[in-house]
Amino acid sequence: MPEGTVVIERGVSAQEFGPKLNRTSADVVRFLLNNGEMITATMTLTDDQMELFALEIGADILLVEPGQQEEIQLQSLFDDTDDEENQQPRPPVITVMGHVDHGKTTVLDKIRAANVVAGEAGGITQHIGAYQVEQRGHKLTFLDTPGHAAFTQMRARGAEATDIVVLVVAADDGVMPQTIEAINHARAADVPIIVAVNKIDKDNADPQRVLTQLAEHELVPESWGGDTIVVEMSATQELGIDDLLDQLLVVSELEELTANPEGRAKGVVLEAQLDVGRGPVATVLVDKGELKVGDPIVAGAAWGRVRAMMNERGEQVKTAGPSTPVQVLGLSTVPLAGDEFRAAPDEKVARTVAESREHRLKLKSQRGDARVKTGTKLEDIFAQIQSGETATLNLILKADVQGSLEAVTESLRKLDRPEVELSFVHRAVGGITENDITLAATTNATIIGFNVRPDRKAREAAETAGVEIRTYEIIYKLLEDIEQAMVGMLAPEYEEVVTGEAEVREIFRVPRIGAIAGCLVRSGTITRGSKVRFLRDGTIIWKGEISSLKRFKEDVREVREGFECGIGLSDFQDLKPGDLIETYEDREIART
């Protein structure tokens, strides 16, 4: 970086930006106003605006993401030794993906079951989101990522921590939308794909059709001269499981996967949750080095000392090497799924790094909160939209585990519409508490619980404060309900329905009233007070309302098809025989 370059974080306002270049916020605002940019001192500046001002005063600036500069300094505290030496082969990390109901879970269960020693069969298998199996003396690590499209975000991250992707496709169903999605994730992560064509025992199974569909997505099977390994199997019949594991070993050998098994551990948090008895529990996957009980560690904004480690069988382990998944106890708070974890030189470094990150996250959320519009109650929404404003539906989201929280968040974000936007006031792992109710009451938010419930005190507080709590166990239902709520909040749309048509036969002039059209109702019903338009030769010449409607000098409310009537219009006198009078009304149509 050239000397004299000023490092500036993106997302700053004029009043934060100006002083960094020895100028006032007024200088920045004035300059931008002169260049046609309408901003105030507290508004966030774009990259272009900052670069334009820097160019004007001859300053060199380097724009970085919030916290990037600090993060580089923090990373240097870990003092990594060069670990090109002492590289050892490590087990491959495998993610199993596929369309919902294609047998992904069954494949994983059968692989796991085949590896459980007979004596352990009655033991409790803990679900830790990842596990290791052994095949011909070699270990393989499997990540158990959820399969529904809503978990796109997690799956994309699952592929990043992955060496090989197993794509499960049902022989009776073929390539489906989520299959294509999984292919794209694996491609983005640039990892080899092995295809498991499952359910070949089904009567309507057609493996050849699956191969054709795969070839259309540039996964050409080896049997067709391509380079994609395809294993035909039936998880329920336990056919092809060994073949799949052998092929995984072949691919991992070709990939030459290595890591330094010594030194301080580094890796990724796969999942984290708050356990009532044990406190924050994180499932981590070691990437390199060796994680030991007693090591000080940092995971995102959480820190602590490893109090205990468990493998997927619930057994206590003392150490974990590269590609090994373990549950870790001893962290200060629940880290986020996808956070990097590192073993620190000592507790002081661990604490410093974590506290610095936490401080930065708080600042970031405060900046975000400043931009969160005040939530609007449902009854006020229509007025707000009709006045041309955007309505905001504030949500507080609580879920059982970090993975679910992110998946639900991503799915909800896709429901955003121009007139109604979703704003997350607070998102966290754990049950619904009184604090959540207080926050919801002050921000007009609705509380959404996914696989979590409010306790008694929270329920009572919600009733008192008039806060709505909705709890769900099925993600589809949650999304459906929120979408319905948003549709209800959208400004109603109207369609025009023609209710009657009358032809002007002759014109009567009435003193002090003006022209009255003597008409024959040709279709529908003409009603007093209806909206009306006048057509002459198919062209609209006037729009207004019917002010009077008569039949033989009697005032009437409506006249039906086939009858004659006299129609007086509010302020239109230019009537001619042959004109058509069309009445219509606006009917609300349901928004979708």
Q: Render pLDDT for 289-344 as a digit per residue (tens, 0 to 9).
A: 899 999 999 988 888 999 999 888 788 999 999 999 999 999 998 887 778 888 88
Asked whether residue 346 carries a pLDDT value surpassing 50, the answer given is yes
- Does residue 476 sit in the same domain as residue 399? yes
Last residue of a domain, one of 257, 282, 313: 257
Q: Would you say the C-alpha torsion 9, 15, 21, 26 has a positive or negative sign?
A: positive
Average pLDDT over residues 71-78: 62
Count of the separate structural domains present in the chain: 5
- Assign 151 a pLDDT band (cuts: 50, 70, 90): very low
Pair of tokens at residue 183: 């292919």
Residue with tokens 């609007």: 376
Rg, Å, the chain Cα set: 34
Residue 411 sits in a domain of what CATH number? 3.40.50.10050
Instruction: Grade residue 384 by pLDDT with cuts at 50, 70 and 90.
Output: low
CA atoms within 13 A on the CB side of 509: 4
On the question of pLDDT at 369 being above 50, the answer is no
Binned at pLDDT 50, 70 and 90, residue 465 comes out as: confident
- Any domain includes 467: yes
Indicate whether 475 and 501 sit together in one domain: no
Close Cβ partners of 181 (under 8 Å, ≥ 6 residues apart): 149, 152, 155
| pLDDT for 377 beyond 60 | no
Are 302 and 194 in the same domain?
no
> What's the chain's average pLDDT?
80
| Domain match, 227 and 251 both | yes
Last residue of a domain, one of 48, 64, 80: 64
69-77: long-range contacts (C-beta < 8 A, 24 or more apart)?
Answer: 69/7, 69/9, 70/356, 70/360, 74/352, 74/353, 74/356, 74/357, 77/344, 77/345, 77/349, 77/352, 77/353
Domain at 225, CATH number: 3.40.50.300
Listed range (107-111, 239-243, 525-529) with the worst mean pLDDT? 107-111
CB 142 within 8 A of CB 224: no
The verdict on residue 81 lying in a domain is no
Query: What mean pLDDT is predicted for residues 36-52?
Result: 86
- Cβ neighbours for 396, distance < 8 A, ≥ 6 positions apart: 424, 425, 426, 427, 436, 439, 440, 445, 446, 447, 448
- Name the residue type at position 492: P
Cβ(433)–Cβ(455) under 8 Å? yes
Read off the pLDDT of each residue in 488-503 and give the average, rounded to a whole number: 78
Residue 121 pLDDT greater than 50, yes or no: no
CA–CA dist 194, 165 (Å, integer)? 6
Block residue for tokens 């005063």: 57
Q: How far apart are CA 401 and CA 267, in angstroms?
A: 19
Q: Which of 25, 46, 64 is the last residue of a domain?
A: 64
- 416-425: per-residue pLDDT in tens? 777 777 888 7
* In a shared domain, residues 466 and 498: no
Residues 403 and 347 in one domain: no
Residue 459 belongs to domain spanning: 372-489
Tell me if 83 is assigned to some domain: no
The reported pLDDT for the residue numbered 158 is 45
- In a shared domain, residues 473 and 533: no
C-alpha distances (whole Å) from 113 to each of 125, 236, 272 are 10, 12, 25
- Checking if the pLDDT of 374 tops 60, the result is no
Do 352 and 405 share a structural domain? no
Please indicate, yes or no, whether residues 213 and 292 belong to a single structural domain of this protein: no
At 534 the three-state DSSP class reads: strand
Q: What is the pLDDT of residues 549-590, one digit of tens each?
A: 988 888 899 999 999 999 887 677 777 888 888 998 888 776
Average pLDDT value for residue range 248-264? 87
Question: Is 569 within a domain?
Answer: yes
Tell whether 376 and 521 lie within a shared domain.
no
Residue 198 sits in the same domain as residue 145: yes
Residue 72 is assigned to a structural domain of this protein: no
Q: Are residues 167 and 205 in the same domain?
A: yes
- Whether 71 is in a domain gets the answer no
295: buried, middle or exposed (CB in 10 Å: 19+, 13-18, 0-12)? buried
Cα 62 from Cα 60, distance rounded (Å):
7
